[in-house]
């Protein structure tokens, strides 16, 4: 029997100061052109926390506004306000920056994060009131240091500064004197990914209705790689986040495949559960500080707020089939292989139609496709167009070429089988996974019978290969409990085997007697 999805979580962390000081676009600009007009204009284009919460795509991401409803609201959305917006959603929350800095410190096991004492006193109570934060995490918040100590660490010891509302609130120290893999900048990147993953794990366990101790394995699929000069990408962010999240019974490992990693990781998790190696596996990912403000230049140039101001995170819990939850169909997996090729038609064929052909299905037999679900508010001003729409048009064109739809029905196909994008451009975060939470609801409500989750990645970014990458799987309604094989329970099967063995042994004894 197939493994099932027990629940999913989606979290955002509003980090405007990290956008300014830690996003790669901004850090590079300060080196190349420190007096640029962009850097001068950027502070005036930052959104408030309230603006980030009331932004329609953000409300969709955390579970308060179904993608179908978002699609009914004319875009762009950056000039509109979502009424009755809430920090908390069905899947997770939008955490403010000040509380995230406390979570960052709580996630630090080596005393590298130092926060200013007044900042801690001002915000620790609100942090502890968050219903998802357990006492064990809240208790890890240190009292903090005075301003002079923080400034000295930044100015004299190469610590990475942490800002809030434009003011120095703390810093992250380097973990080694000369190892660039343990520099203060890299440590902040990894700790931010870890802390946002912790938040996603906490919500995933809650949303799945399981006990933290039941999770036996964790797979991290973010785009950060922790290690030192001897193994710069050795890992293990998965186990590191599991420790803080209280998953005391879990082991774990990291999966890295650029933007395609989440779908690779979910297939791996479902396979581990189906094989019986683990009963409950969590796939998790935190956000990337490097991607903050990635398209900021284009946004500011066009008079738009810097929309890439949130770290993203998600987690999916996968378990054995107990008759509840939606199945991951491991017989219907799409793969972009070494020999597939990188043309759009070859990619879509390998990921979409090849797995369907195994079962004689048409493209239209998939009710919803979830490829790269980037928010077009972010990508269109940057010249990248509407990424989800482009994917749906390619899928529809292939369906028309196969005869699954008439060419004239392409627009109707896109409207009925596609969705508008809503995920932040955090690299791996938009790649298929954002719809999983809604897919569970849509399938249970009978709105969707089959949903295909598609992850695609650009392996050439690592300069190790020019290859493209991609993988897909299908989510479907539950087909029954694991033990209900052919209507016979596991206990009955064991009894039948024992009886057959006794009969076999009796037959051998009778045969031996007759021969004598």
* C-alpha to C-alpha distance for 27 and 30, rounded to whole angstroms: 5
The residue ranges of the chain whose pLDDT is under 70 are 482-516
* Rounded Cα–Cα distance for residues 288 and 307 (Å): 15
Q: What is the pLDDT of residue 509?
A: 45
Q: Beta-carbon neighbour count of residue 13 at 10 Å?
A: 27
The full set of domain ranges for the chain reads 4-319, 328-476
Residue-wise DSSP of 251-281: EEEE--BTBTHHHHHHHHHHHHHHHTS-SEE
The CA-atom distances, in angstroms, between 66 and each of 59, 310, 391, 399 are: 9, 20, 20, 26
pLDDT tens per residue, range 391-429: 999 999 999 999 999 999 999 999 999 999 999 999 899
Q: What is the mean pLDDT of the chain?
A: 94
Q: Does 3.40.47 match the CATH number of domain 328-476?
A: yes
Closest of 238, 183, 228, 204 to residue 132, by C-alpha: 204
Contact 74, 67 (CB under 8 A): no
Q: How much is the pLDDT for 514?
A: 40
Spatial contact of 1 and 319, defined as CB atoms under 8 Å apart? no
pLDDT of residue 481: 74
Q: Which of 23, 317, 69, 429 is nearest to 189 (CA)?
A: 23
Give the pLDDT of residue 515: 35
């Amino acid at each position: 029997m197939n493994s099932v999805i027990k629940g999913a979580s989606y979290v955002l962390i509003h980090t405007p100061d990290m956008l300014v000081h830690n996003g790669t676009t901004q850090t590079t600009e300060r080196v190349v052109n420190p007096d640029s007009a962009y850097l001068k204009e950027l502070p005036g284009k930052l959104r408030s926390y309230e603006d980030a919460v009331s932004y329609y795509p953000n409300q969709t991401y955390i579970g308060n506004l179904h993608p179908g409803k978002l699609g009914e609201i004319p875009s762009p959305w950056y000039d509109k306000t979502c009424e009755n917006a809430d920090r908390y959603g069905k899947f997770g929350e939008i955490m403010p920056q000040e509380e995230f800095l406390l979570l960052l410190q709580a996630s630090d096991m080596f005393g590298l994060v130092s926060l200013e004492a007044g900042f801690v006193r001002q915000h620790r109570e609100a942090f502890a009131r968050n219903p998802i934060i357990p006492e064990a995490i809240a208790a890890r918040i240190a009292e903090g240091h005075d301003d002079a100590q923080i400034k000295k660490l930044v100015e004299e010891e190469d610590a990475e500064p942490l800002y809030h509302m434009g003011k120095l609130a703390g810093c992250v120290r380097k973990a080694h004197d000369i190892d660039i893999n343990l520099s203060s900048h890299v440590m902040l990147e990894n700790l931010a990914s870890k802390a946002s993953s912790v938040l996603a794990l906490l919500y995933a366990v809650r949303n799945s209705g399981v006990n933290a101790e039941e999770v036996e394995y964790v797979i991290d699929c973010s785009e950060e790689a922790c290690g030192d000069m001897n193994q710069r990408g050795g890992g293990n962010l998965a186990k590191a986040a599991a420790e803080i999240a209280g998953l005391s019974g879990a082991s774990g490992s990291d999966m890295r495949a650029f933007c395609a990693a989440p779908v690779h990781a979910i297939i791996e998790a479902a396979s581990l559960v189906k094989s019986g190696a683990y009963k409950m596996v969590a796939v998790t990912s935190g956000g990337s500080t490097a991607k903050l403000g990635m398209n900021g230049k284009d946004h500011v140039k066009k008079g738009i707020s810097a929309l890439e101001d949130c770290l993203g995170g998600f987690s999916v819990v996968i378990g054995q089939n107990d008759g509840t939850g939606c199945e991951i169909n491991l017989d219907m997996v799409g793969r972009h292989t070494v020999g597939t090729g990188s043309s759009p038609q070859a990619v879509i064929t390998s990921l979409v139609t090849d797995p369907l052909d195994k079962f004689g299905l048409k493209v239209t037999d998939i009710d919803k496709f979830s490829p790269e679900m980037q928010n077009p508010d972010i990508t269109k001003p940057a010249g990248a167009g509407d990424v989800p729409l482009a994917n749906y048009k390619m899928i529809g064109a292939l369906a028309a070429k196969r005869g699954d739809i008439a060419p004239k029905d392409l627009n109707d196909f896109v409207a009925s089988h596609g969705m508008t994008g809503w995920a932040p451009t955090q690299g791996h975060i938009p790649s298929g996974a954002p719809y999983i939470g809604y897919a569970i609801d849509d399938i249970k409500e009978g709105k969707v019978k089959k949903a295909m989750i598609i992850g695609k990645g650009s392996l050439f970014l690592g300069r190790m290969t020019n290859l493209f990458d991609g993988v897909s799987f299908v989510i479907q309604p539950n087909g029954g409990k694991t033990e209900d094989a052919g209507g016979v329970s596991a206990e009955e099967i064991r009894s039948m085997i024992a009886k057959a063995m006794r009969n076999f042994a009796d037959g051998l004894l009778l045969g031996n007697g007759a021969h004598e």
